Amino acid sequence: MTQFIDGIMLLLSSSLAASIAAKATLIATLGLMGAWLTRHSRAAVRRAVLSASFAVLLALPIASILITPVRIALPASTREWAPPSFFPEPVNISQTTASAGRSVAGATATSEWKGLSLSAVLFAVWLAGAAFFLLRIIVGLQQVRTLRRFGMPWRVGQSVVDQLALDAGIHRRVEVLVHESLPAPVTCGIVRPAIVLPPDAHQWDEEDLNRAIVHELEHVRRFDWASHCLARLARALYWFHPLVWAAWRQLALEAERSCDDAVLSRSDATAYADQLVDLAQRLSTLKKQPALAMATRSDLSVRVNSVLDARQPRGRLGVLLVGVTCIAAAAIILTMSPLRMVAAPQAVPPVAMHDVPKWDAVSVKRCTNSVVASGLGQGEGRGGGAMQAPSSDRLMLNCVPLQSLVFVAYATFADGNRDAVKAATVLLEGFPDWLGSERYTIEAKAEGTPGQPMMMGPMMQVLLQDRFHLKVHEETREGKVFNLTVAKGGPKMATHPPGGCAPTDFQYHETPLTNRCTYTSERDGNMGFDGWMNLDSFALILTGGTRNPQSPLDAPVVNKTGLTDVYHVQIEYSPLTHSEDAPPALSIFTAVQKLGLKFEAAKGPRQFLVFDHAERPSEN
């Protein structure tokens, strides 16, 4: 069950939209639970709880984008299982090692329909629904504008409102209007509030008029017009969510009940209940209720029962409770909105690696030699020292930074075999400066003859855990990627002729040593290469090139062309810092288009190796 829940949480956090929807579910649930738990308290308390819930719902998308994410690591098992998702899961970059034809065909069959991805269809549906409900809000605001524009001032009612407003603690002018289309009083406006009464209001007796105005003035005092408009905006954004609709209806009811409590503080309950029944009869004759009306006929029976219930607590909300509610809402926004679940398996402890060959002898010494040979490639060591395996049972590392060893052990040779894809895509994060600056000379002899990949991968992990007390973990997060797709007109590269030279496969390294096609990577000072390869290898080379600070690409490249042939890829493009001595070249985007391909910026998984702990070793 725990694994199931973790899998659901990880799946919902795979995209920002799904994460916001999940958090909105929790917030709406908390709001409704808070209203239920305070059902024996004042209506003003329940209204405050629900209003705070809608404030959090409205701020949630903005805060989720602006606040730096706080990632919660879930066990590795959650990455091995995931339930069917309504939200499409992005293609993992590491899957490019599989057959391009099979992967693209599978992705097309499951996540695309008539050229549109499922995520695009869902976004279009949400956008259409949000636009519909936002349009209703706009229509309602226009109706209110019409009421205020064509409403007639009423002097008698204005004098009554002015006196009752002072009694209610309202020091703003509240305009009183009469409009022939209204069957019942309504309140509108924020800066210039107004109470619009039906045309027969001048025929009401004094008590009925006072009760109606006291009710509407309570709306003005609490700025219900503003809070209801914002709640309607939140409802439009979450129009698909039934709990948000339930919370909205409860908020509208509690707002009316709390205004009823203000009336009962100065009026007889039975007389006011009779007036509410008369209001229900008025609303029943109305064919179409104003779009932004607060009171609804369906809630009047509940309000009448509440008015006649002498046991019901009544009264306004104190300043202390208002402050506590605001602080709680702010705390929920700040703590919940940045949370993101990520897959983060803990480092494999040595006891779980009992099948890994053992070291017979290991020597670790701090390197003090200022002359450091270059032995690690840019993607592996990033400026490390010499790394040699003179035999299948010996390893000699001369002045190598610990960070370089971590990269090699956990990325390049993580499973005892060279993983070109992981070496090209994984990024290090959170490593302290001393792991990159301090260098160590390590000499080690293994039991038996495990070979270089095993010594550089799993056996090196054991060594680092034992001598440096190293702890790291992997995380997969959604981030920017470049999808390599076919441009209009199709590919413009020559296909590999049958029986020709053997193209180099930059993923599997299974190319025979004899009759291998030539491959060059130097292009007269510019970036580029020339050789026969499949497009999976092409994407991998471009991804590996992003480690170069001069690379014009800042994200991994994923082959989404669906092409499986081997092509003659000849490309030359300018780096970010172009040398004056180098001949001019095209940008990477233009150069790729000349091949009949193109880049499309998208969202996809990014692999990170995150530092947890390390200690300087004792030399021996």
- pLDDT digits over 412-451, tens only? 888 888 887 888 888 888 899 888 888 999 999 998 888 8
pLDDT tens across 273-321, in order?
888 888 777 766 655 555 555 556 667 778 888 888 888 888 887 778 8
Same domain, 418 and 318: no
Please answer whether residues 444 and 463 qualify as being in contact, where contact means their C-beta atoms are separated by less than 8 angstroms. Answer: yes
Q: Does the pLDDT of residue 525 top 70, yes or no?
A: no
Q: Are residues 396 and 516 in the same domain?
A: no
- What is the number of domains present in the chain? 3
Q: Find the range with the poorest average confidence among 47-56, 62-71, 607-616.
A: 62-71
Same domain, 323 and 354: no
Tokens 């659901």 found at: 8
Residues 6+ apart with CB under 8 A from 489: 596
Residue 329 lies in a domain: yes
Indicate the pLDDT class of residue 117, thresholds 50, 70 and 90.
low
Dihedral sign computed on CA atoms, order 365, 369, 374, 380:
positive
**CATH number of the domain encompassing residue 299:** 3.30.2010.10
Q: Are residues 396 and 543 in the same domain?
A: no
Alpha-carbon span 386 to 75, nearest angstrom: 36
Which pLDDT value is given to residue 77? 45
Nearest Cα to Cα of residue 304 among 336, 334, 272, 326: 272
Q: Does residue 613 form part of some domain?
A: no
Separation CA 423–CA 336 (nearest Å): 34
On whether residue 38 sits in a domain, the answer given is no
Using one digit for the tens of pLDDT, what is the confidence trace for 468-517? 999 999 888 888 889 999 999 899 998 988 777 777 676 654 445 566 67
Instruction: Please say if the pLDDT value at position 33 is more than 90.
Output: yes
Same domain, 320 and 448: no
Backbone angles phi, psi at 568, to 5 degrees: -85, 105
Same domain (yes/no): 227, 284: yes
Residue 112 pLDDT greater than 60, yes or no: no
Q: When comparing pLDDT for 369 and 64, which is higher?
A: 64
Tell me what pLDDT residue 341 has: 61
Residue 611 lies in a domain: no
| Cβ–Cβ under 8 Å, residues 536 and 96 | yes
Does 10 fall in a domain? no
Residue type, 535: L
Q: Examine the domain organization and report whether 154 and 278 are in the same domain.
A: yes
Residue 246 pLDDT level (bands cut at 50, 70, 90): very high
Q: Are residues 220 and 155 in the same domain?
A: yes
pTM above 0.85, yes or no: no
- Identify the weakest region by mean pLDDT among 160-169, 287-296, 339-348, 367-376: 367-376
Please state, in angstroms and rounded to a whole number, the distance separating the CA atoms of residues 588 and 590.
Answer: 6
pLDDT exceeds cutoff 80 at 165:
yes
Shared-domain flag, residues 257 and 306: yes
Confidence of residue 244 (pLDDT cuts 50, 70, 90): very high
Q: What is the mean pLDDT of the chain?
A: 79
Min mean pLDDT across 82-91, 187-196, 229-238 is at: 82-91
Specify whether 322 is located in the same domain as 239: yes
Average pLDDT rounded to a whole number, residues 240-254: 93
> Of 540, 529, 539, 532, which Cα lies nearest the Cα of 504?
532
Both tokens of 495, joined, read 């296909």
514 phi, psi to nearest 5 deg: -95, 150
Judge whether residue 110 has pLDDT over 70: no
Can you tell me whether residue 50 is helix, strand or coil?
helix
- Per-residue pLDDT band for 25 (boundaries 50, 70, 90) equals very high
Between residues 97 and 385, the one the model is more confident about: 385
- Alpha-carbon distance of 194 to 178, in angstroms, equals 10
Do 129 and 238 share a domain, yes or no?
A: yes
Res 350: pLDDT: 42
Contact 299, 256 (CB under 8 A): yes
pLDDT of residue 582: 57
From 476, 508, 535, give the residue that closes a domain: 476
229 within domain boundaries: yes
Within this chain, do residues 230 and 330 fall inside the same structural domain, yes or no? Answer: yes
Q: To 5 degrees, how large is the angle CA 429–CA 431–CA 436? A: 120
Decide if pLDDT at 242 tops 90.
Answer: yes
Q: 358-373: per-residue pLDDT in tens?
A: 899 999 988 875 444 3
In a domain, 54, yes or no: no
* Residues above pLDDT 70, as percent of the chain: 75
Asked if residue 208 belongs to a domain, the reply is yes
Could you tell me the residue range of the domain that residue 572 belongs to? 491-595
What is the crossing angle of helices 242-264 and 16-37, to 10°?
30
Structure tokens at 457: 């991968």
